Amino acid sequence: MPDHPPTLAPPGGPADQPPPADLSAPRFLVSLQAAVPDAVVALSHFVGDWTAIVAPARLLDVVGWLATAPEAAFDWCSDITATDWPPRPERFDVIYCLYSTRHRHRIRVKARVRDDEAIASVTGVWPAANWLEREVFDMFGIRFSGHPDLRRILMPDDWQGHPQRKDYPLEGPGELLLENPIDWLTLRQSRDEADIE
Amino acid sequence: MVDAVVIPLLKIVIVLVATLTAVSYMVLLERKVIAWTQARLGPMRVGPHGILQPIADALKLMIKEDITPARADRWVFTLAPILAMVPALIVYAVIPFGPAVEVFGRPVTLYITDINVGLLYVVSVTSVGVYGIILAGYASNSKYPMLASLRASAQLISYEVAVTLTLVSVVLVAGTLSLVGIVEAQREAHVWYLFAQPVAFALIVIGGLAETNRAPFDMPEAEQELTGGFHTEYSGMRFALFFLAEYANMIVVSSVATTLFLGGYLRPFPNVAAFGVLDIVPSWMWFLLKSFAFLYFFIWIRATLPRYRYDQLMRLGWKVLIPIAIANLVVTAIVRVLLVARVGADG
Amino acid sequence: METPAVHHGAMFDTDELVINMGPQHPSTHGVLRVVLRLDGETVVDADVVIGYLHRGIEKLSENRSYTQVILLTDRMDYVAAATNNVGYCETVEKLMGIEVPRRARYMRTLVCELQRIASHCLWLGTHAMDAGAMTVFLYAFRERELILDLFEEYCGARLTYNSMRIGGLPQEIPPGWDRKVREFCTIMDGKLVEYEELLTHNRIWRERTKGIGVIDGAAAMAIGLSGPSLRGSGVPRDLRRDEPYAAYDEMDFDVPIGLAGDTYDRYLVRMEEFRQSLRIIRQAIDGMPEGPIVGRVPRLIKPPAGETYHAIESPKGELGFFIVSDGRSMSPYRVRVRPPSFCNLQALPQLIKGHLIADVVVLIGSIDIVLGEVDR
């Protein structure tokens, strides 16, 4: 066992580093903030990637603008995924990685959603989102309202639980399924620490 | 008594045994030739260079469990492989492997029988073979075989008409339906019909590939599309019957094409005395050599070409082969009438 | 059918036939299942069922150290394992700000392009096999074997290479290896002619592929196609050129695109990519700089808290890694793979609608999927 007690709390959320003061955001991000006011909660910049954190209710406005505005022209939906931060009330980050073939730039759009909350589907903007959102639903249990065909995709149809959640044990359900996800995260943390020693 | 019963029976036995052996070695030949085409060795384990492979295959297929799917139509399911195999074998009754020769001082013809409607018989009997495929697909009560059997029916209609029309033009030239008669007609005409009827020859080659379900027309058993095609549900010896029937049909098609277009058992230049030295090789050997060239061509095609789609085969059949066959028939008929008229005027 | 006769086969009565293609089927390239609704042999509707090979690689990654994840990435696109290694390692390097030495970047480029040829060989072979051209299959595998031999000599493995490390490469190239790569390039030049003789101008092949599965550029973008499948529709998007990684910014190569967006054009694009890859390999070998093969990497791989997405051009398309670090654990907080095969496969129902069963297998081959990557 490690010397220090396993009291290290699980991370409460992503770092989301704010952009350095001397770095100005790309022009389309500034325009976005002007065109869709109050939708962008924060901007983040880390190792060259820009991320716009948006309010989930305004997601469709934001991605709609990003997909159509000539200066943004994000015509290609690269990836949709999610991360799980159990201690946070808005537990999930849903992340949209977008790419513009015209300007060859990228942006990540991030929306924080609660467990009991559905987020709007972007399949109307990019049909490619169909399977990607299905996978997020399958793995995290995040519901997408307006999705044409929200079924499980990788796991069997009758599967219980959503494997990519942090409270879903690696070994599968049934063996180590703890009541409280925090307990399990703490356990994992202490195991990691033990490995390092 | 001997001439009427014993000799024909002996000939039937010899032809059957020879055919079945040839068929199994045909499989080995195909595997070997394709392997060489594809820069590999083919069967090498059973006997030197895999020479005993057909025997091992036959043994394996015989001792395999014979499965009938629970919801199959049992009778038809059993009947289908027989229906595929039997026509392929009985066609050999009229194939002339050689002319009459003397064996132990007794004249023996190197064919089982020579009926005056030989070619008609061949066409009819080989057409029955496809019912084996259709019924197999139907009786399996399974989706992929059913699709395959539908393909087989569509394919049958598309090429059979063209092939038969083409055969008619050959018959017009030869003036007889007897296969022996056609060979002898080529001797008298001093030319193989390959040169007299090149279009017909090309049509027969294409039609022959389709007839035997060989690549590039092997849609009914396209394993990449329909898993196993019509024989998906078959196992053991029943599967083997389908398999052997396909190769037996290949040999039939090669034999018929050899007879019709390559002078059958005749040596090259049968009327030129200068080439008399070629008579060292017996006539049946010439026949086998020519047929073998055909078979080799079939295998070669299989190793080279991708597969047609079945609607493309239909299009080829109806829009290309049949018009050409009809045109060929008409031209042949006109030329024939003109020739006869001239001969009549001369006579 | 008009007459209500008694049929033994119940299927004869239905107008539409539902057929399960896979998960055990010779041409689904693994455990893919496509539920086809057929009218005759024409596909009316298709539903793609995946997940038979789901091993939870993303979940596993959260419980392994950063270095151990490299070995998991091998198991995704197992016909282009080294490309996965490169994609993952570069993402971690981006996260940690590690500078990779120039020689290592050249070697990565070399390995990636060899891998692209190997992957395209497998694609070509299976694609042609699905259309019934079995000789091309064995020819393509014969050349793939040469690449596997090269890889075996380099890293000891033939399929799952584990051939990259964070910050560089695990070992130097063995002596004489570059000569063998050069020899391989010469052999491959000739073999490409051989493949093209068998297919490109073959009438049957053209009839089987021209006009099949047409998708225009805009539709292809919308459905998320990437890689050669997208370029076949005329969209000139290649991450090697657009967002250069490894040493691609120093390489001179062309990005082939198709015009019609059909199976034949996707085929031509990949055939040209063989040549471009050979061109890049020659440049990488000729211009291989001297120097270290590993950058300055901390002993403990523990990136600062943060997240990043980095994509590379795998043989199948855009292979992206999204990695989240919590800044204190030895293992990533989240690893997300953007699998090109998964996203390309999504276009399949759209492509096969209205075509025949025989085209379904051709189209599955045409979008070049690997189920290990689709299901992860």
Q: What does residue A105 show for φ and ψ, rounded to 5 degrees?
A: -125, 165
ipTM: 0.83
pLDDT digits (tens, 9 = 90+) for B125-151: 888 888 888 888 888 877 888 888 888
pLDDT at C88: 92
pLDDT at B344: 58
pLDDT-derived band at B347, boundaries 50, 70, 90: very low
Write down how long chain C is: 376
**Which distant-in-sequence residues (6+ apart) come within 8 Å of B76 by Cβ?**
B135, B138, B139
A 54-73 residues inside an 8 A Cβ radius of C: none
Q: What does residue B79 show for φ and ψ, rounded to 5 degrees?
A: -70, -35
pLDDT-derived band at A179, boundaries 50, 70, 90: low
What does pLDDT average to over chain A? 81
Report CA Rg, chain C: 22
DSSP calls for C179-208: HHHHHHHHHHHHHHHHHHHHTTT-HHHHHH
**Which distant-in-sequence residues (6+ apart) come within 8 Å of B105 by Cβ?**
none
Within an 8 Å CB–CB cutoff, is residue A172 touching chain C? no
**CB-nearest partner of A79 from C235, C320, C326:** C320
Tell me, yes or no, whether chains A and C touch by having 3 or more C-beta pairs under 8 A.
Answer: yes
Share of chain B above pLDDT 70, in %: 94
What does pLDDT average to over chain B? 82
Share of chain B above pLDDT 90, in %: 1
List CB contacts (< 8 A) between A78 and chain C.
309, 311, 318, 320, 338
pLDDT at C5: 47
pLDDT-derived band at A2, boundaries 50, 70, 90: very low
**CB-nearest partner of C26 from B34, B223, B311:** B223
Range with the poorest average pLDDT among A171-185, B285-299, C101-115, C116-130? A171-185
pLDDT at B308: 83
The model scores a pTM over 0.80: yes
C 122-141 residues inside an 8 A Cβ radius of A: none
Cβ–Cβ gap A83/C333 under 8 Å: yes
Number of Cβ within 10 Å of residue A169's Cβ equals 20
**Which distant-in-sequence residues (6+ apart) come within 8 Å of B310 by Cβ?**
B151, B154, B155, B219, C41, C356, C358
- From C29, which residue of chain B is nearest by alpha-carbon distance? B224
Rounded CA separation C212/B330 (Å): 38
More confident residue, C24 or B222: C24
Cβ–Cβ gap A47/C97 under 8 Å: yes
β-pairing, A106-113 vs C33-39, is: unpaired
Q: What is the mean pLDDT of residues C165-169?
A: 87
pLDDT-derived band at A8, boundaries 50, 70, 90: low
Chain C closest CA to B154's CA: distance in Å? 12
